[in-house]
Structure 1
Amino acid sequence: LISRLAVALKTDLERRGEGARTLALLLFRVDGAVSRIAVGTSRPMREPRLIQRLFHERLTALEQNIDAGFGFDLVRLSVLSVAAFDLVQGNLTGEAEDDDADIALFADRVRARLGEAAVLKPVVVESHLPERAVKSVPFAEAPQRRAPAAGRAAPPRTAPPMTIYPPERPVRLFRSPEPVEVPATEIPEGPPMNFRWRRALYRVARAEGPERIAAEWWRQLPGEEEAPTRDYYRIEDSEGRRYWLYRQGLYGNAPQAASPRWYMHGVFA
């Protein structure tokens, strides 16, 4: 029934040049009770087959909570919010050149069954601190790469030459840096010769650094103590495993200055 309603809905959306972003299925029971079931899409959608898939996942999740009573005498499919729908440029095989369409549909089906927060997407944030440089947002709220519209050629896939190469970052970044014991270093400001992490001793074979990252002083409140400077090192142990360690604080000449401490912030592949 949803598929038949979506076919009629597609005609109206095509005439307007729009696609649905939020759809609602209204089930009117014979005794007057109304059930409202809504689904959202990360991209404008008007294909009946895809709309049917989303409601299939949603109805499967709500199967035990829907009380049909003595039956429904009216079913209505409505569009609550719309967005402009650009036709996607196709290739010689007749398939649309949109690599993210399958990922978007998969995320929409998972969200329809498990909720809006079930699928998150990392988004780059303007910050040089590693823990603030990326945040996770709901998939539907993340900026989407727009596919080229019909009649316009797709842009070349070759990236422009870069003059500044970003520093290497670990594949897995810990939510909270973990303390590391460093018994000795070659020089006070140099990388560790070995370190103990999670009760295991690791011997350093190679080290690269430091990459100095200072605190964001413009976020500092009046009277608040300035956060220590960090010196990051890419460390490889004797077994070839790679880690991302940093030393918090600098060695000072004042006797009351606190000794720098070491932390594990991430691991490489």
Structure 2
Amino acid sequence: MARPLVGIAARFGEEAATAVRRLSGDYKAPVRPRVRVAPVVVERRFAEPIARTDYALEVIEELAGEAGNTLGQRHQGGRRWEARLFRSDGHIQSLRVETGQPTRDVALLMRLFAERIDALADPLDPGYGYDLIRLDVTLAERLDAAQLRLEGGEGATQAPAVAELIDRLRSRR
């Protein structure tokens, strides 16, 4: 601390001199708040409750497309997707799927949701009908466009197949 900072900066770099200033209390670092990005939530409300499970899956597919568009604007893909089906009697059925890589692929998500429904011990029971369906993307990560042939050649097409297998095994778990 007693040494001149010019010599420290010349020998170790400006970062070392800044660290010494911070330790002595002479350097005031600006406060940078962490900006939290709101999670992607899309929902559909129904004036008349829907009582068919296949129609509820069609609505989830539409919501996945809307969420994928929002994630595309953010250059992100979802890793954890949760669909909640709210029955008119207050019961909430929750379905969650997770993927090995960030994705916005609606067909993949619907296949994972279908496998999740098939693996349920207690199948979906609409009862008096669903009056609200919500799809939350609870975990999203950066997803950039990839050109497989340029980035890894023909062998690169195996990586999505492995990720797809991981997703299918995870949905059955």
Band the TM-score falls in, shorter-chain normalisation = 0.5 to 0.7
Give 1:99's aligned residue. Answer: 158
Gaps of at least 5 residues in structure 2 are: 1-57
1:28–1:96 CA distance, 2 compared to 1 (3 A): farther
Residue in structure 2 matched with residue 33 of structure 1 by the alignment: 91
Question: What is the RMSD of the two structures over their aligned residues, measured on CA atoms?
Answer: 2.0
Name which of 8, 12, 16 aligns with 2:74.
16
Greater relative contact order structure (CA < 8 Å, 6+ sep)? 2
Could you tell me how far apart the structure 2 residues matched to 1:65 and 1:91 are?
42
* CA distance in structure 1 between the aligned counterparts of 2:92 and 2:99, rounded to whole angstroms: 23
| Alignment CA distance shift 1:87-1:69 (3 Å) | same
Q: Higher strand fraction: Structure 1 or Structure 2?
A: 1
> Partners in 2 of 1:22 and 1:45 — Cα distance?
10
CA distance in 1, matches of 2:155, 2:125: 41
Identity fraction in percent: 37
- Summarize deviations over 1:61-103 as a string: whole Å, max 9, x none: 11634332212111111100111102111438xx994421111
CA 1:8–1:96 in structure 2 vs 1: closer, same or farther (change >3 Å)?
A: farther
The gaps in structure 1 that reach 5 residues or longer are: 116-269
Q: Which amino acid aligns with 1:87?
A: A
Greater C-alpha Rg: 1
Alpha-carbon contact 1:21-1:41 (below 8 Å) kept: yes
Task: State the alpha-carbon separation in 1 of the partners of residues 155 and 127 from structure 2.
Answer: 44
> Aligned residue for 2:141?
83
Instruction: Give the secondary structure class of the aligned counterpart of 2:122.
Output: helix
| TM-score after normalising by structure 2 | 0.59
CA offset digits 1:12-38 (Å, max 9, x no partner): 010000010100000000111111111
TM, length-normalised to structure 1: 0.39
In the alignment, is the contact (CA less than 8 A) between 1:44 and 1:85 conserved in 2?
A: yes
CA distance in 2, matches of 1:87, 1:103: 18
Listed one character per residue, the Cα deviations across residues 114-136 of structure 1 (whole Å, up to 9, x for unaligned) are x1xxxxxxxxxxxxxxxxxxxxx
Greater share of helix? 2
The offset of 1:59, in angstroms, is 0.8
